[in-house]
Chains A and B, each alone.
Chain A
Amino acid sequence: MSTPTPSAAPATAARPAGRGRNLELPEHLKAYKGVWVFIEHDRGHVHSVSWELLGEARKLADTLGSSVGAVILGGDDEPLEKFAAEAFTMGADKAYVMHDPVLKGYRNEPFTKGLTDLVNKHQPEILLLGATSMGRDLAGSVATTLLTGLTADCTELKIDPVSRALAATRPTFGGSLLCTIMTLAYRPQMATVRPRVMAMPQIDATRSGEITQETLGMVETQIVTKLLDFIADANSQQINLPYADVIVSGGKGLKNPDNFKLVFELARVLGGEVGATRPCVQAGWVEAERQVGQTGKTVRPKLYIAAGISGAIQHRVGMEASDVIVAINTDPNAPIFEFAHYGIVGNAMQVLPALTQAFAGHFANHRRQAA
């Protein structure tokens, strides 16, 4: 996406200035119809971000009066038709399924060809992908092949009432500003959205749709990159921050990596995950997968406890959708108190153990009553 020239960017420029650019959609691109979602799957499971995108695609298609297509690429023996049936219950009308041995396990080359060919053949006006390591790798290659616009990490997708184009809003400059981006004269309009940014759609088990089988037309010898192995993360190493119900996060206010133990303790009692700010990750206190914020993960847990975090905008944009936010900080003027639901002005190194003890006692009481 373009980094806007912000020094010159007015607060609300009503319409984009062409500045010599043609912003009209050429006649031959007007036939592009429908909203597509690339369905990402791995070892028998569809990534939740694909369902979240189908929910958004449904809304966009309803506004446009068009249909939702799910694109599912995978190996010969992968249950793509089952994924298609699931996609229908999440809002898809059609599914384009492509089985091929070379599509088992993600590789850029065959997936780029498969998706690009399908777009050229069926001509969707919008194509959405998850902003995952697969989605970002693929989206950048496909958009460059199709020579069209791609907007990354969108937080809101709407249809512009005037142009009927996709108005994709995303944070920029570390979340200090938001900008709405449109692709007016090119098709398809592509966008990626991070996991957990959009809500999961309601499942409608009565919905069904039409499956179209497609072929890739590529053989293994044509593909340069070989997938030698896939080393799955051990369960103990898996950090699934975006989908955690409870997250306890620490910031530089914890002073040293040792004090992060207090964060882990509280997270353990709550059965939650541990998050962190970018400075903590950069200092090597915790793993990069734990970073919450603009350059880390977007989360929306039921409970988010921020310890020693000032609440810089870069952190805020990654967690402000949490149901309940609790902030602990020594500085009463820290920006985090402007968007937390509950605040404690105090030393996290003292408050965290007290909270851990109180939660543990609370749950112990419940167990006793239940027994």
Chain B
Amino acid sequence: MHIVVCIKQVPDSAQIRVHPVTNTIMRQGVPAIVNPYDLFSLEEALRLKDKLGGKVTMLCMGPPQAEDALRKCIGFGADDAVLVTDRAFAGADTLATSYALAAGVRQLAREQAVDIVFTGKQTIDGDTAQVGPGIAKRLGLQLLTYVSRIIETDLVNRTITVERRAEGGVQVLKTALPCLITMLENTNEMRFANLPAMIHAAAYPVRKWNKEQAGIEDPAKIGLKGSPTVVSKVFGPTPRSEKADMLELETSSLRDVSLNLIQKIFTRHPTLESDLLMKELT
């Protein structure tokens, strides 16, 4: 079985700071990490490999330094890694990104037929959740998003049965391979990379493909040129003018502060008290 896992290297959003005057992102010192949502997909891919055998190939589009993210995945147990990297990919939106990654998957399929493609459910920097569905559409793969559990993979009949998180419940879906899966978060826990694996990863020759090697047929469809969306403005959030009304604990008891706060809340929101009392009755 051949599984391809697509990942993205992202800045750790918890550590991003915006320059207060220029409203630009201050990237210095912000660590780049593997998009956390991608790791749930990678772990699931590794579990399938443990159970059914085969090979897990990592695929990433990004600048040369994204090689570090791929290396990390080799450390976790992936077998091979390809970085699709070319200046021509810069400025890609989700449509152009799915075009490039779909081309990459096609190239990998020429080496060995691909059974399952995994992507993260979304990234933590773009947050769009569009690239997975985009790749599936371009490759004609069955799409299974927000999968919470893989129930069964049948390599003889080439089918897969999964549970998919939907609004208000879980769908049980059965489809044919090849398919594209995005895993829901917290559905598994990434294994530890042991020391020999990390040493192996550090020396692993990550393959780097430029746009020709990645099999890009139409250069007008990648990067900025291939992106229908246009960023017209970037700006900082408007600060709230009103400052918080601070209730002092030092001068009064916890009980008094609590009673005072309740009064303030119900004064500020005149219908809230009756709403809450109504709810209690029903």
Binding site for B on A (CB under 8 A): 1-7, 9-13, 15-16, 19-21, 23, 40, 42-43, 47, 105-109, 112, 132-134, 136-137, 139-141, 143-145, 147-153, 160, 167, 171-186, 224-233, 238, 245-246, 270-271, 278-279, 281-282, 284, 288, 294-295, 302-303, 312-314, 317, 320, 323-324, 326-327, 337-346, 350-351, 354-355, 357-359, 362-363, 366-367
Contact of B264 among A139, A342, A366, A367 (CB under 8 A): A342
Tell me what chain A mostly uses at the interface: helix, strand, loop, or mixed: mixed
Contact of A181 among B142, B168, B230 (CB under 8 A): B230
B127 to chain A, nearest CB (A): 6
If A140-B130, A148-B228, A150-B130 touch, whether A176 touches B146 (CB-CB below 8 Å) is no
Q: Is the CB of B276 within 8 A of A150?
A: no
Q: Is the CB of A1 within 8 A of B98?
A: no
Residue of B nearest to A294 (CB): B127
Stretch at the interface among B72-80, B88-96, B109-117, B204-212: B88-96
Q: Is the CB of A153 within 8 A of B262?
A: no
10 smallest CB-CB distances across A and B, nearest first, come from: A140-B133, A2-B93, A149-B228, A174-B13, A358-B258, A152-B128, A6-B25, A149-B229, A343-B244, A229-B172
Listed residue (B126, B130, B164) with the most chain A CB atoms within 10 angstroms of its CB:
B130
A288 to chain B, nearest CB (A): 5
Q: Is the CB of A11 within 8 A of B236?
A: yes
Cα A133 to Cα B147 with chains together (Å)? 11
Cα A181 to Cα B228 with chains together (Å)? 10
Cα A143 to Cα B135 with chains together (Å)? 12
If A141-B143, A342-B247 touch, whether A1 touches B234 (CB-CB below 8 Å) is no
Binding site for A on B (CB under 8 A): 11, 13-14, 16-18, 22-25, 27, 36, 90-95, 98, 122, 124-134, 136-138, 142-146, 161, 163-176, 184-186, 224-225, 227-237, 239-240, 242-249, 254-255, 257-259, 261-262, 264-265, 268-269, 271-272, 275-277, 279-280
Cα A102 to Cα B272 with chains together (Å)? 45
Residue of A nearest to B258 (CB): A358
Known contacts A1-B94, A229-B171, A344-B249, then 11 further A-B pairs from the complex at CB < 8 Å, ordered by chain A residue: A12-B235, A42-B167, A137-B145, A153-B127, A179-B231, A228-B173, A230-B172, A271-B276, A344-B261, A345-B249, A362-B259
A161 to chain B, nearest CB (A): 12
Residue of A nearest to B11 (CB): A173
Q: Is the CB of B171 within 8 A of A105?
A: yes
Q: Is the CB of B229 within 8 A of A342?
A: no
Q: Is the CB of A147 within 8 A of B228?
A: yes
Q: Is the CB of B137 within 8 A of A144?
A: yes
A189 to chain B, nearest CB (A): 9
Q: Is the CB of A343 within 8 A of B245?
A: yes
Listed residue (A10, A15, A233, A342) with the most chain B CB atoms within 10 angstroms of its CB:
A342
A339: chain B residues at CB < 8 Å are 240, 244
Q: Is the CB of A149 within 8 A of B95?
A: yes
Cα A173 to Cα B19 with chains together (Å)? 13
Q: Is the CB of A226 within 8 A of B234?
A: no
Q: Is the CB of A344 within 8 A of B247?
A: yes
A144: chain B residues at CB < 8 Å are 95, 98, 130, 133-134, 137-138
B169 to chain A, nearest CB (A): 4
Selected A-B contacts with CB under 8 Å, 13 pairs:
A11-B236, A20-B224, A140-B132, A225-B142, A317-B237, A326-B265, A341-B268, A342-B264, A351-B254, A354-B255, A355-B262, A357-B255, A362-B262
If A108-B143, A230-B171 touch, whether A313 touches B237 (CB-CB below 8 Å) is yes
Cα A186 to Cα B229 with chains together (Å)? 9
Q: Is the CB of A337 within 8 A of B244?
A: yes
Q: Is the CB of B229 within 8 A of A2?
A: yes
A317: chain B residues at CB < 8 Å are 237
Cα A181 to Cα B128 with chains together (Å)? 13
B139 to chain A, nearest CB (A): 10
Listed residue (A11, A12, A15, A40) with the most chain B CB atoms within 10 angstroms of its CB:
A11
B20 to chain A, nearest CB (A): 11
A43: chain B residues at CB < 8 Å are 168
Residue of B nearest to A105 (CB): B171
B239: chain A residues at CB < 8 Å are 338
If A228-B174, A295-B124, A324-B265 touch, whether A152 touches B130 (CB-CB below 8 Å) is yes
